[in-house]
Structure 1
Amino acid sequence: MLDKELLDIFGQKIISSVRDQAIFEFEAMVQGKMKSENMVKLNNELETFDKNQIEILKKVVLTTIDNVIYNTLNMLEQNEENIRLLVSQDGKNEKNIVDISDGLSGELFTKKGWVEKFSKYK
């Protein structure tokens, strides 16, 4: 398997399981679909927001989600001597994700980056 394919497997998982899931949960919370006690309380507070305020809040939340992912990937790059994240397709031939990218955190936002390729929320 090519390194680029391994990198995309990792990227697809990060985008779908972390980024898109967090956005989905945020939207469900704003729409009142989350029924835990804390989410109901938060949704009640959000009901005082007008449509424009909700849109601004959404931009803030999406930016924060992307920043957390970016910072996590950057941390992996900066600490590869202590932290290794291995990726493989078949459980064999594992490769350090940092070694197969020319800039792991930069994989997120380019025209051909992970958000563009894999996210439902662009």
Structure 2
Amino acid sequence: MELKQSLDVFGEFLVKNLRDKGIGNAEALLSNKSKSPSNLKTQTEIGQFNESQKDLIKEIVIKSIDGAIHDFLFSLQELADFENNIQIFVNGKNIVELSDGIHGESFSENGWNAKFSKYGAKE
């Protein structure tokens, strides 16, 4: 139980601080709610898109973020299998060694996205 718990602690941290933040930033831009002056031009241009186009942009952002997370975790898995020079420990446990394929932990009906993301797994 403790092993899975450490893996889920990492997964929740990754989902909330990377996936959800990235999707949230995109949503703020798409809905013209970003307060950052550097986003003004982007939000003005996005304002010309219809809702269907904005939905497509959001889908692209989510797929891009999920793909990047997958590739990052896959690279950690490869390092663990060979060089093992980059390791991530949670509660004293190497999280890559706790999984039979850490790059797949996000993507299932019981994966990290489904359990921890406010955007769910199927976005």
TM-score, normalised relative to structure 2: 0.90
Q: 2:88 aligns with which of 82, 85, 89?
A: 85
Q: In structure 1, what is the equivalent of residue 49 of structure 2?
A: 49
Distance in 2 (CA, whole Å) between partners of 1:17 and 1:96 is 20
- What displacement does 1:26 show? 1.0
- What displacement does 1:36 show? 2.0
Alignment of 1:13-92 (within 5 A): 13-80=13-80, 81-88=84-91
Which residue identity does 1:40 align to in structure 2? L
Distance in 2 (CA, whole Å) between partners of 1:72 and 1:58 is 21
Percent identical among aligned pairs is 38
Runs of 4+ in 1 over 6 A off after TM superposition: none
RMSD: 1.1
- What displacement does 1:37 show? 2.6
Structure 1 unmatched runs, 5+: 89-93
Map Cα deviations across residues 7-39 of structure 1 (whole Å, 9 max, x no partner).
Answer: 011111111111111111111111112122321
Distance in 1 (CA, whole Å) between partners of 2:101 and 2:24 is 27
**8 Å CA contact 2:22, 2:65 repeated in 1:** yes
Distance in 1 (CA, whole Å) between partners of 2:57 and 2:26 is 10
Q: In structure 1, what is the equivalent of residue 94 of structure 2?
A: 96
TM-score, normalised relative to structure 1: 0.91
Distance in 1 (CA, whole Å) between partners of 2:103 and 2:5 is 17
Alignment of 1:99-118 (within 5 A): 99-118=97-116
SS at match of 2:17: helix
Which residue identity does 1:85 align to in structure 2? I
Q: In structure 2, what is the equivalent of residue 91 of structure 1?
A: none
Which residue identity does 2:57 align to in structure 1? L
**8 Å CA contact 2:12, 2:116 repeated in 1:** yes
SS at match of 1:35: coil
SS at match of 1:79: helix
